[in-house]
Structure 1
């Protein structure tokens, strides 16, 4: 009896290590530095002024620096608080700023103004390169005349409870912003412009990534019944249809991360299954459904990309959508020693905490109980993080230099072990 126990334990450790290695390989494949350097290595000796905005901005700027060297004439990096790269602190040609995410504040306005100043300072035929990743929309704000930060924050709060779809929301956001929905195009004038994107949105739509700073969104009609204070705000007219839009290139996407998972899994000797539709919908439902299908599925590594949602109770506990999904999966695979599930963000963050997600196995649910937790109650109270910390199942990466939504990776152990 003792011997089999030791074996299962060390086997479990090996499978957990393999899954973490597979996840790391995916992050590497879509890392902002690598993705930008790869794309720019085909560029033709041009010099650029480079602006990088978003959670992956420092990594994307490193990629530009690596590929361009002295041809990077001047750089501006705007990223989330805590995401700055210390290597830019004393760089003679690159300015780095931290700004607010996901709720914009004063620093978002300061960064927005810095972006306009940076563009305005470039000679009129100077080629510009924009490196945009998720989070850009709250990191840089330039408000239309007559709109205050209070108005912006009121709008954000109102939109959250409005029930409007994402396109209607986007329309409103773009109308009170000078630079969203293609508004920034008015400031670049005739400078030749290239845009490289790390996509954090389903469908990789350039009008949605970072709220389409340089890509006009099809301006829907504004919703009919706006509250009076909102209807009274001065709205910017949509960008004219015939505006010339610069080339936008996707340099890192969820599909690339999924392909990298499959490739790494095969290199470790597993059969890989990657042809699933992107995940969406409620995190707990998706976690449970994925775990159930994994138990019926053929052995090997199964991977899905995308992004789920969580409807939070009034006083949520600790954790994010990936931890919530993982704990829901842990309930389904409880007692199985042949199933493991990893759910994690690719940007290194999952909800407000410092963790990227979690890796659960068939003993997670019981270990939670042994630690004195009621994991089912924790799911109801959106407190998965507290449980998964106690079971030792959290994954922490710190900032990853990329942001291509989330990865859900399941392992069904082959019969022979």
Structure 2
């Protein structure tokens, strides 16, 4: 592997290790000990890793646990822990089954008990309880439409909350007369707990914006049929404590620290990268070419408007391929764009690492005459990047703090 590509991948993996669920949860619990027996609930793509952290910090105190995670992200635990797998990013019947199991588990916890709830990204899709007059098909269609039309994650979750019996703080009612410590890994801008996992235990503080007018009538009608939200001063929230244990800022800082130890000039850009993935890929690549040599660190979460029949790949592959066209034939520049959860779109790749040779390698291998613009238009960046040999695979990482974009520019 090219040394620069190898170095940028190692820096990415260092960031992942720094915000890994097991590490962050164990560290927090060891510095903030919980006394007495504990009932454990973990929900999200990092649920298994976070649960491992709780078990390592409280090995004798965990009496029982329920873990709900994405299909393929589960792990084997001892007989105290029940592990369920459900669908992501588009919910299905398994999400509803997980929601019902969650309510049964909570209702069986004795009153006045201590509950440890661990929440990470993906919870919005993985677990749900729907109102009686909203069907799973209604919910799936709404979710698929939102995911395919460039809506931000907080906008998607805003709608999901209103089509739920447990989101936007409604789940808090089920914990009545129980003490709840909730540790979160943030996968949302500004680390807002009311948005992480659609705010299972946090009241809704946000008001709708003009973007709601862009929703089709079918989704607007579903929102009007949903049950009312609990008030922010509802007594059910008094016994719930919320703490953040890992964020995108932690991951960016870990990359910067590791790069500085390698004596790389390091530039940590504070802006949150969002908007259209293709446009941002081109913009960041242009900035990298104009920037001083060293490692440039960005983070955020972009969007892709999908065609009716999208191809292979996700937003990070889309961003990376758009960047690759700008970087074409440029020596000494490498860019990585990847999801910190190890997945990018519906496939198994985390993202991609592109350089000045990506465009020519892909065109030569494919030989189909299609331009990079064609692959971007058809949301098929993954096929091009597979041909160019630039896809990045990590497997499940045990965390989810959105996406990292790293640009390495070597000195001439």
Alignment TM-score > 0.5, same fold: yes
**CA contact 1:365–1:375 (8 Å) conserved in 2:** no
- Cα distance in 2 for partners of 1:336, 1:145 equals 57
TM-score (norm 2): 0.91
Change (3 A) 1:235 1:336: closer
Change (3 A) 1:232 1:363: closer
Change (3 A) 1:289 1:167: closer
Match of 1:364 in 2: 358
Please give the residue correspondences for 1:3-402 in structure 2 after superposition, counting only pairs within 5 Å: 13-46=2-35, 47-85=37-75, 87-88=76-77, 91-156=78-143, 170=157, 172-218=159-205, 220=207, 227=218, 230=221, 234-244=225-235, 245=237, 246-371=240-365, 372-373=367-368, 374-376=370-372, 377-402=374-399
**CA contact 1:216–1:239 (8 Å) conserved in 2:** yes
- Cα distance in 2 for partners of 1:70, 1:169 equals 39
TM-score (norm 1): 0.90
- Cα distance in 2 for partners of 1:172, 1:316 equals 24
**CA contact 2:187–2:401 (8 Å) conserved in 1:** yes
Alpha-carbon distance, 1:380 to partner: 2.6
- Cα distance in 1 for partners of 2:267, 2:142 equals 43
Alpha-carbon distance, 1:365 to partner: 1.2
Contiguous gaps of at least 5 residues in structure 2: none
- Cα distance in 1 for partners of 2:155, 2:354 equals 38
- Cα distance in 2 for partners of 1:21, 1:231 equals 46
Three-state SS of the structure 2 residue aligned to 1:184 is: helix
Alpha-carbon distance, 1:381 to partner: 2.2
Three-state SS of the structure 2 residue aligned to 1:70 is: coil
- Cα distance in 1 for partners of 2:149, 2:257 equals 43
- Cα distance in 1 for partners of 2:20, 2:32 equals 19
CA deviation string 1:224-244 (max 9, x = no partner): 995599369753121023224
Contiguous gaps of at least 5 residues in structure 1: 1-11
- Cα distance in 1 for partners of 2:245, 2:66 equals 19
**CA contact 1:347–1:399 (8 Å) conserved in 2:** yes
Alpha-carbon distance, 1:215 to partner: 0.2
**CA contact 1:31–1:402 (8 Å) conserved in 2:** yes
- Cα distance in 1 for partners of 2:63, 2:98 equals 20
- Cα distance in 1 for partners of 2:154, 2:48 equals 29
- Cα distance in 1 for partners of 2:335, 2:293 equals 13
- Cα distance in 2 for partners of 1:162, 1:257 equals 28
**CA contact 2:168–2:194 (8 Å) conserved in 1:** yes
CA deviation string 1:86-123 (max 9, x = no partner): x32xx121000001112212111111111111111111
Alpha-carbon distance, 1:322 to partner: 0.9
Alpha-carbon distance, 1:260 to partner: 0.8
Alpha-carbon distance, 1:168 to partner: 7.0
**CA contact 2:150–2:305 (8 Å) conserved in 1:** no
Change (3 A) 1:148 1:313: closer
Based on CA coordinates, which of the two structures has the bigger radius of gyration?
A: 1
Alpha-carbon distance, 1:303 to partner: 0.6
For the aligned residue pairs, the C-alpha RMSD in angstroms reads: 2.4
